[in-house]
């Protein structure tokens, strides 16, 4: 990214980013400096990629017309702590309108691939068409700038994500990698395949510690394109740390915003895993396909319950002081750290244990590890498997697939492996399709085709307005437990005035866990690239990007009926919940009217 | 004065302010002083009957306080952090007014305070 300010340093049109367009059928490459059209283009991430997607007509995810855009945010690869995000954007095979058209989607993950991509000299890659054979895209920083080459990738086929990365590491020792797993190779049967990103810790420890751009099937798109991996090879280009950035980093790593994710000895609360405790207080921890029973078994997965049996080590992404990774290891007889098992975060742990009736941390670790090996989104897979188990419970005489039911670890494991290998397309194509095929969509836990994270829909009527996953693109999933307000007016404000700004860091290239203030984020942009923006201008751009995403959903056939919750929320209220139930059809109808009365004019004005 | 810092969840309700200073003798009275000054924070900080919301966590000078320690004395220069016990539920803090913007030749857009009008067109 470069600037050529002729006057005051505040015109985004005087900022240029470097885009590499790759025609996969011919392996031809065009690298160009592109002037930004607006602030969203400067900020990057989905703010830029969705503008490109808006210009395309795509009626099916698996067509050559669907580009895969791999880009970074303006702060990725800078000295700002957590500036580590890479974004993968495309029309999703998983998120589809009721009319059957694919929706624009992005997935993002941290760690060093994003910075390495920036250090090659590229801000964005656009993968067009489909390669005729499995290919590895190698981006290197050459003498005259970024250079792109292609290598056969047949030798990587069939390896799991970690195996692919370690093989590539031998070949490209100073590079980082984005790869798909077997699930991505079996994209036609596994729409929720994700993209694995290599980490420093992984390459050094040789443990399976990828980070993930998991949601929405971006790995499946990569698989369709026959791109098995992307290599970003450049020497580290760490520049002088400006005092202003140092101060922001200090605030991010030691301030209140990141306390939740830090360890207790670092003044924190121990990571997202600790969500179990306050959620269980009000029976909000999903059990039995998002239907808490109030039996208290969720406590078996509390960190405090699990910790004595294992060694839990807080580890971090490249140059991040928060150390949010809660990595679980075997405990040796002498109490020292043994074999690495899995990284525990609240969502995958819940969806691959408590929510499917498996209340055993060792089995949860095995499933999480297996899902990572195959390269699948643990949220989509976990929620879809929960639906299968629920269906089988409801139909004991006509069970589907292998007949698995809640708590049957061996059969669940078989479903996980089979899905990753492409043998269970019923699961791999997501819960929306499966439930519609079975004629029982009421308890399929998704909104707009994307499976719900581990927060109950009964407690979050804001889910339908999330644009790229329920807990990362609309921050209303914990509002009820935090404020206990069940009025329509509260929820309208929560969605239209607060929740949508959660996507701010999905433009900037930052991790949400740093919880930077908007003022600090704007300052960071100024100090890192020289563009002077205010916090208000930044937030205005974020809002435009969000509204544009809603516009894009309409372009792909989304209608008001698409914006709803699983019907069991209305039809079978769960009375075990500590607060509520409050989301009735009448409530939701009024909420919907009022939310659209805010968003509709803004969409029309785009 | 005692300094109270909090996360975006709180800041977004009071115009992006992420820390305030209050005069107080105990942690609990510091919270009272905070919500007296910013009543918008009452639903987040207090539960019914005036008890502290059980899903927030308090730190005094980097030391986590249990629910029975909210009467702890504080002195000038002390720092209290208020943290939600759950991840998420909050967006980035907003500035004094939430601004939306129309497409604009400069690319920045013309901002408008939407707290004064909900139906906006360029």
Interface pTM (ipTM) of the complex? Answer: 0.81
Q: Tell me the angle at which helices A409-420 and A378-394 cross, rounded to the nearest 10 degrees.
A: 130
CA-based nearest residue in chain A for residue B46: A483
Q: Is the pLDDT at B121 greater than 50, yes or no?
A: no
Picking from A94-108, A201-215, A561-575, B10-24, which range would have the lowest pLDDT averaged per residue? B10-24
Q: How far apart are CA A48 and CA A54, in angstroms?
A: 10
Choose the mutation target among B65, B92, B114 for the interface with A, i.e. most A CBs under 10 Å: B92
Q: Is the pLDDT at B116 greater than 70, yes or no?
A: no
Q: Assess A473–B contact: CB distance below 8 Å, yes or no.
A: no
List the one residue out of A21, A198, A234, A20 whose CA is nearest residue A120.
Answer: A234
**A287 neighbors A49 (Cβ within 8 angstroms):** no
Question: Domain limits of chain B?
Answer: 2-84
**Of A39, A277, A483, which has the smallest distance from its Cβ to B43's Cβ?**
A483
Tell how strand A145-152 and strand A337-343 pair up.
unpaired
Q: Which residue has the higher pLDDT, A107 or B17?
A: A107
Tokens 């639906």 belong to residue: A387
**Would you state the pLDDT for residue B59?**
95
Q: Assess A578–B contact: CB distance below 8 Å, yes or no.
A: no
C-alpha distance from B3 to closest chain A C-alpha (Å): 12
**Would you state the pLDDT for residue A322?**
87
- Cα separations (Å) of A140 from A177, A244, A377? 12, 31, 29
Q: Is the pLDDT at B114 greater than 70, yes or no?
A: no
A193-225 pLDDT tens trace: 999 999 999 999 999 999 999 999 999 999 999
Q: How far apart are CA A488 and CA B108, in angstroms?
A: 33
A385-402 pLDDT tens trace: 999 999 999 999 999 999
Q: Is the pLDDT at A338 greater than 60, yes or no?
A: yes
**Of B16, B64, B87, which has the smallest distance from its Cβ to A517's Cβ?**
B16
Among residues 323-352 of chain A, which lie with CB inside 8 Å of chain B?
Answer: 346
Q: How many residues does chain A have?
A: 606
Q: Assess A422–B contact: CB distance below 8 Å, yes or no.
A: no
List the one residue out of A343, A308, A332 whose CA is nearest residue A207.
Answer: A343
**Would you state the pLDDT for residue A76?**
97
Tokens 């139909």 belong to residue: A395
In sequence order, what are the residues at sequence separation of 6 or more whose Cβ sits closer than 8 angstroms to the Cβ of residue A331?
Answer: A309, A310, A311, A337, A338
**Would you state the pLDDT for residue B122?**
21
| CATH code for residues B2-84 | 3.10.20.30
**Would you state the pLDDT for residue A422?**
98
A469-486 pLDDT tens trace: 999 999 999 999 999 999
Strands (E), B7-49: 19-22
List the one residue out of B40, B42, B62 whose CA is nearest residue B52.
Answer: B42
Asked whether the beta carbons of residue B16 and residue A482 sit closer than 8 angstroms, the reply is: no
Residues of A in contact with B89 (CB under 8 A): 475-479, 481-482
Asked whether the beta carbons of residue B101 and residue A540 sit closer than 8 angstroms, the reply is: yes
Taking every pair of Cα atoms in chain A, the longest distance, rounded to a whole number of angstroms, is: 75
3-state helix, strand, coil in chain B (%, to 5): 25, 25, 50
Asked whether the beta carbons of residue B88 and residue A475 sit closer than 8 angstroms, the reply is: yes
**Would you state the pLDDT for residue A514?**
87
H-run or E-run covering A16: strand A15-23
CA-based nearest residue in chain A for residue B56: A482
Burial of A96 (0-12, 13-18, 19+ CB in 10 A): buried
**Would you state the pLDDT for residue B16?**
83
A178-188 pLDDT tens trace: 999 999 999 99
Asked whether the beta carbons of residue B101 and residue A537 sit closer than 8 angstroms, the reply is: yes
Q: Is the pLDDT at A522 greater than 90, yes or no?
A: yes
Q: Average the pLDDT over A239-262 and give the result.
A: 91
Choose the mutation target among A11, A16, A256 for the interface with B, i.e. most B CBs under 10 Å: A256
Is the CATH number 3.10.20.520 carried by domain A2-233?
A: no
A68-77 pLDDT tens trace: 999 999 999 9
Residues of A in contact with B109 (CB under 8 A): 38-39, 537, 540-541, 544
**Would you state the pLDDT for residue B12?**
83
Q: Is the pLDDT at B119 greater than 60, yes or no?
A: no
C-alpha distance from B9 to closest chain A C-alpha (Å): 9
Q: Average the pLDDT over A513-519 and give the result.
A: 89
Q: How far apart are CA A472 and CA A347, in angstroms?
A: 12
DSSP for A366-414 reads HHHHHHHHHTB-HHHHHHHHHHHHHHHHH-TTS--TT---TT-HHHHHH
**Would you state the pLDDT for residue A48?**
98
Percent of chain A clearing pLDDT 70 (strictly above)? 100
Q: How far apart are CA A123 and CA A586, in angstroms?
A: 47
Among residues 4-63 of chain B, which lie with CB inside 8 Å of chain A?
Answer: 5-9, 11-12, 16, 18, 43-44, 53-55, 57, 59, 62
Give the A:B interface size as CB pairs under 8 Å. 180
Taking all residues of chain B, what is their mean pLDDT, rounded to a whole number? 75
Q: Assess B122–A contact: CB distance below 8 Å, yes or no.
A: yes
Taking all residues of chain A, what is their mean pLDDT, rounded to a whole number? 96
**Of B57, B106, B121, which has the smallest distance from its Cβ to A269's Cβ?**
B57
Confidence band for A321, pLDDT divided at 50, 70 and 90: confident
- Give the number of other Cβ atoms within 10 Å of residue A6's Cβ: 7
Q: How far apart are CA A315 and CA A308, in angstroms?
A: 19
Q: How far apart are CA A18 and CA A363, in angstroms?
A: 45
Q: How far apart are CA A185 and CA A183, in angstroms?
A: 5
Q: Assess A534–B contact: CB distance below 8 Å, yes or no.
A: yes
**A412 neighbors A385 (Cβ within 8 angstroms):** yes
**Would you state the pLDDT for residue A192?**
98
Among residues 64-103 of chain B, which lie with CB inside 8 Å of chain A?
Answer: 64, 81-95, 97-103
A5-44 pLDDT tens trace: 888 889 999 999 999 999 999 999 999 999 999 999 999 9
C-alpha distance from A563 to closest chain B C-alpha (Å): 20
Confidence band for A465, pLDDT divided at 50, 70 and 90: very high
C-alpha distance from B97 to closest chain A C-alpha (Å): 8
Question: Domain limits of chain A?
Answer: 2-233
List the one residue out of A473, A448, A472, A471 whose CA is nearest residue A460.
Answer: A471
Tokens of A150: 């292609």
Asked whether the beta carbons of residue A539 and residue B92 sit closer than 8 angstroms, the reply is: yes
């Amino acid at each position: 990214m470069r600037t050529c300010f002729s006057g005051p340093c505040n015109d985004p049109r005087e900022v240029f980013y470097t885009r590499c367009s790759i025609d996969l059928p011919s392996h031809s490459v065009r690298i160009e400096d592109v002037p930004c059209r607006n602030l969203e283009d400067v900020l990057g991430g989905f703010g830029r990629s969705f503008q490109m997607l808006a210009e395309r007509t795509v009626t099916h995810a698996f067509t050559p017309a669907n580009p895969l855009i791999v880009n970074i945010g303006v702060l990725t690869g800078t000295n700002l702590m957590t500036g580590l995000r890479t974004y993968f954007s495309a029309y999703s095979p998983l998120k589809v309108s009721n009319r059957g058209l694919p929706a624009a989607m992005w997935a993002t993950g941290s760690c060093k691939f994003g910075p390495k991509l920036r250090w090659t000299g590229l801000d964005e890659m656009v993968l067009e068409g489909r390669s005729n054979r499995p290919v590895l895209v190698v981006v290197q920083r050459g003498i005259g700038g970024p250079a792109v080459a292609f290598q056969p990738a047949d030798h990587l086929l069939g390896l799991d994500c970690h195996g692919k990365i370690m093989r590539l590491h031998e070949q490209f020792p100073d590079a980082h990698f984005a790869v798909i797993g077997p699930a991505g190779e079996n994209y036609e049967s596994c729409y929720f395949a994700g993209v694995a990103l290599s980490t420093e810790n992984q390459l050094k420890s040789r443990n399976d510690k990828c980070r993930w751009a998991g949601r929405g099937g971006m790995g499946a798109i990569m698989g369709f394109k026959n791109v098995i991996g992307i290599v970003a090879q450049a020497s580290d280009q760490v520049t002088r740390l400006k005092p202003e950035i140092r101060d922001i980093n200090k605030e991010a790593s030691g301030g209140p915003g990141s306390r939740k994710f830090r360890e207790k000895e670092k003044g924190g609360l121990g990571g997202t895993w600790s969500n179990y405790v306050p959620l269980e207080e009000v029976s909000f921890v999903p059990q039995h396909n998002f239907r808490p029973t109030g039996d208290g078994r969720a406590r078996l997965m509390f960190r405090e319950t699990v910790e004595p049996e294992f060694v839990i080590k807080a580890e971090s992404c490249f140059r991040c002081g928060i150390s949010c990774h809660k990595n679980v290891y075997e405990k040796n007889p002498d109490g020292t750290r043994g074999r690495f098992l899995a990284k525990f975060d609240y969502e995958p742990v819940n969806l691959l244990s408590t929510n499917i009736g498996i209340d055993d941390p060792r089995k949860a670790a095995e499933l999480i590890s297996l899902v990572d090996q195959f390269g699948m989104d643990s949220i989509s897979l976990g929620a879809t498997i929960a639906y299968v188990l629920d269906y089988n419970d409801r139909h004991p005489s006509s069970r589907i697939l292998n007949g698995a039911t809640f708590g049957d670890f061996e059969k669940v494991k078989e479903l996980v492996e089979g899905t990753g290998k492409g043998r269970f397309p019923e699961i791999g194509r997501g819960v929306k399709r499966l439930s519609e095929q079975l004629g029982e969509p009421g308890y399929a836990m998704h909104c707009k085709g994307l499976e719900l994270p581990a927060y109950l829909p009964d407690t979050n009527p804001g889910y339908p307005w999330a644009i790229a996953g329920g807990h990362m693109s609309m921050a209303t999933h914990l509002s009820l437990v935090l404020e206990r307000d069940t009025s329509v007016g509260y929820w309208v404000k929560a969605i239209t005035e607060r929740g949508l700004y959660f996507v701010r860091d999905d433009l900037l290239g930052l991790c949400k866990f740093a919880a930077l203030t908007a003022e600090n984020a704007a300052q960071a942009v100024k100090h890192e690239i020289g563009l002077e923006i205010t916090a208000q201008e930044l937030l205005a751009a974020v809002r435009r990007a969000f509204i544009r995403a809603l516009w894009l959903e309409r372009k792909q056939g989304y209608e008001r009926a698409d914006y709803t919750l699983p019907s069991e929320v209305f039809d079978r209220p769960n009375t075990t919940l500590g607060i509520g139930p409050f989301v009735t059809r009448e409530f939701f109808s009024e909420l919907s009217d009022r939310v659209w009365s805010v968003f509709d004019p803004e969409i029309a004005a785009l | 004065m005692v300094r109270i810092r909090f996360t975006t969840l709180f800041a977004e309700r009071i115009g992006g302010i992420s820390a305030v200073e209050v005069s107080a003798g105990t942690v609990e009275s510091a919270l009272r002083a905070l919500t007296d000054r910013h009543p918008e924070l009452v639903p987040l900080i207090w539960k019914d009957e005036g008890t502290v919301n059980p899903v927030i966590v308090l730190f005094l000078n980097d030391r986590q306080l249990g629910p029975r320690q909210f009467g702890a004395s504080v002195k000038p220069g002390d720092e209290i952090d208020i943290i939600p016990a759950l991840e998420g539920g909050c967006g980035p803090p907003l500035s004094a007014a939430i601004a939306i913007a129309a497409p604009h030749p400069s690319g920045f857009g013309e901002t408008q305070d939407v707290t004064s009008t909900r139906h906006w067109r360029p």
